[in-house]
Amino acid sequence: MLNKKSIDDINVKGKRVLCRCDFNVPLDGSRITDETRLVAALPTIKKLIADGGKVILCSHLGKPKGPDATFSLAPVAKRLSELLGQEVKFAADANVVGDNAKAAVAAMKDGDVVLLENTRYRAEETKNGEAFSEELASLADVFVNDAFGTAHRAHCSNVGVTEFIRKKGGDCAVGYLMQKEIDFLGNAVNNPERPFVAILGGAKVSSKISVIENLLDKVDTLIIGGGMAYTFMAAHGEEVGKSLLEEDYKEYALKMEKKAEEKGVKLLIPVDTTVADDFSNDANFKVVGRGEIPADMEGLDIGPKTAELFANAVAGAKTVVWNGPMGCFEMPNFAKGTIAVAEAMAKLEGATTIIGGGDSAAACNQLGFGDKMTHISTGGGASLEFLEGKDLPGVVAADDK
């Protein structure tokens, strides 16, 4: 059970609070094309403002190789000012903690907000370098981490900085967004209300090995869909045509089926498949039974019988975790399986439904089911590692209660 100090447990009145957010937003020039991450950060920022903190925000954006105007956080400061209804002063320093940042922080009054420049302008950021960590900490008395999307990485702005804040006697807490991720992806998965069903999709078995192993120790039912399923089919000598296949993982698939059987876990894979003659929405497609995929076609979605099988397995569950779509949901002709799973989860009453970030989160939102889920994770890689049962550096670095 993870029990971290949150912003509700600390006093920030009159203190300088360095708050690590996830403002890694898509940009079209200086226009933010999806502000989901900005909106998600607002509750924590508003709480720190309301409590009288001097709020210093920091984040990375993209993967710049040094200072690069294309990756500047200036558009984020502008939009945040509008969303918060108060000025977010932007400290435009190529070295992040420069004269502009120092002057802006020195001039802050309680409730003011300053945004630092892209932390990845500094090469040391991703190496968790000591010097940059200390520079960031020099601006603040307290640290709050609300960036779950980077929690699986040990960087200066989410891990290294905590050491220097603590040396000054300051608190290192988590924000509301991070707390929610810990509560759902961490604690709900480790102490689930049963029946507990996990749904895994996406392209590759190799990317979900640890997730499968960890969940088999916890779930009552494990559903395998998406591109991963073809490796499980091929492991039984079934024809998968030109479908995605990881030859090296066929033996592993059989091993996982055996483990499920030993643990009394129901493991489901597709009984029919929607196949196409090309990777295109305009391709010729049809539904075939398990093991009947033509040699010149590829599976792009689960079939209707599988959709019904999976939906029935979800019905009655009290905890459901879903990571990875059932097919190529971006193409309408091959989105039916993903829609069926989302619908089954949306219909559940009194259940905890968790979408584990990445493509499944995108699918859920694009298909209009986002508001029907208990929690949609903001972290792709971080949510996967949490589901693997790993300790995330960004979470570990926060103070325990």
d(CA 319, CA 350): 9
Give the angle 351-395-4 at the CA atoms, nearest 5°. Answer: 75
299 is catalytic: no
Scanning 188-317, the segments in alpha helix (DSSP H) are 189-190, 209-216, 228-235, 250-263, 304-314
Options 37, 89, 242, 336, the catalytic residue:
37
Verify cis geometry, omega within 30 degrees of 0, for the bond prior to 332: no
Is 291 within 8 Å of 233 (Cβ atoms)?
yes
Options 46, 204, 318, 390, the catalytic residue:
204
Chain center to CA of 279:
27
Options 160, 202, 303, 358, the catalytic residue:
358
204 is catalytic: yes
Residue given tokens 């920091």 in the structure block? 58
Q: Where are the beta strands (DSSP E) in 169-312?
A: 172-174, 196-200, 221-224, 266-268, 272-276, 285-289, 298-302
37 is catalytic: yes
d(CA 298, CA 274): 8
Options 111, 129, 381, 389, the catalytic residue:
381
CA separation, residue 47 to residues 155, 191, 361, 383 (Å): 25, 29, 26, 25
Beta-bridge partner residues of 322: 199, 355
289 is catalytic: no
Residue given tokens 């000598």 in the structure block? 237
Catalytic residues, by residue number, are: 37, 204, 358, 381
